[in-house]
Amino acid sequence: MAAITVTGEYGYIAFVVVGSWAMLNYLAFRVMQARKKYNVNYPKLYSETSHEFNCIQRAHQNTLEVYPQFLAFLFLGGLQFPKLSAAFGVIFIASRLVYAHGYYTFQPANRNRGAFGYIGLIGLIVNTVLFGLSSTGFI
């Protein structure tokens, strides 16, 4: 059985996790502000009357939908490639902010400005696959 060794460089992964937490909290704060502004009370997730609120909420919700995958690939790929995975993580975080601000224009197509985040996510997936192949002896 192979042992997993965590190097000091894995600390970069920790910094990215904290950065992603800050990004999620920023998006959540924007939703809280929008709930007040557009009078959308809990437990409603979306508004039946406010397109603007729905755009702000959707930016946050979509990020939450992909976040568990992002973390899993970041943690696993980072075991073998901590600096590269951290860089891909930063790209992903930046893209989610650009994605959200595209939605905040209330023209949903503008969210596509954040599509460069797929570079970060796919990079993390590749790192994770390479880690899996390496740790099992396939490469």
We find that the CATH architecture of domain 10-133 is Up-down Bundle (1.20)
- At residue 119, does pLDDT exceed 70? yes
Region class of 86: left (phi > 0), else alpha (psi between -120 and 50), else beta: alpha
DSSP state of 3: P
Split at pLDDT 50, 70, 90, the class of 139 is confident
Q: 94 vs 8, 47, 89, 115, 116, CA distance in Å?
A: 24, 27, 9, 11, 9
Q: Give the torsion sign (CA, 8, 92, 128, 22).
A: positive
Predicted model pTM = 0.93
pLDDT at 3: 78
Q: Please provide the DSSP assignment of 116-132 as one string.
A: GHHHHHHHHHHHHHHHH
Q: How do residues 26-72 score in pLDDT, each as one tens digit?
A: 999 999 999 999 999 999 999 999 999 999 999 999 999 999 999 99
- At residue 2, does pLDDT exceed 80? no
Split at pLDDT 50, 70, 90, the class of 1 is low
Q: How do residues 64-103 score in pLDDT, each as one tens digit?
A: 999 999 999 999 999 999 999 999 999 999 999 999 999 9
